[in-house]
Amino acid sequence: MEAKLSSDVRKILIVAVTMMVLLFPTGEAVKYGMCQPQCLEIQPDCNAWCKRIGYPKGGECVEPHNIDCCCWEVPPSERLNGTAESLLPLHM
């Protein structure tokens, strides 16, 4: 039983580490503080809407099909050049 549990934990850790390695270099694991699934209703003001609800960096409608309006924790420009600052999401 102990060996099986150890084997299961090892497999979970391998999967978790693999996901981190694959996601962090591309910037896909970063991103958004929150997403609202009605981007089509919020457009063209997704950016303004995010700023209005407490995300000073704004936001954008994201793929697939621009369905979600997602507010940035770390905007793409800061994520790419390494100047990201930590933002706390607005607690409603």
Residue 1: band (very low, low, confident or very high) from pLDDT cuts 50, 70, 90: low
Both tokens of 25, joined, read: 């270099």
- 89 located within any domain: no
| 40 plus 24 within the same structural domain | no
- 9 located within any domain: yes
Segment 76-91 mean pLDDT: 47
| 40 plus 54 within the same structural domain | yes
Is there a contact between 59 and 72 (Cβ–Cβ < 8 Å)? Answer: yes
- 92 located within any domain: no
Arithmetic mean of pLDDT over the chain: 69
What is the layout of strands, in order, in the sheet containing 59-62?
Answer: 32-36, 68-72, 59-62
DSSP 47: H
Range of the domain at 69: 31-84
pLDDT per residue as tens digits for the range 26-59 = 444 456 788 888 887 776 788 888 898 888 888 8
pTM: 0.47
| 78 plus 66 within the same structural domain | yes
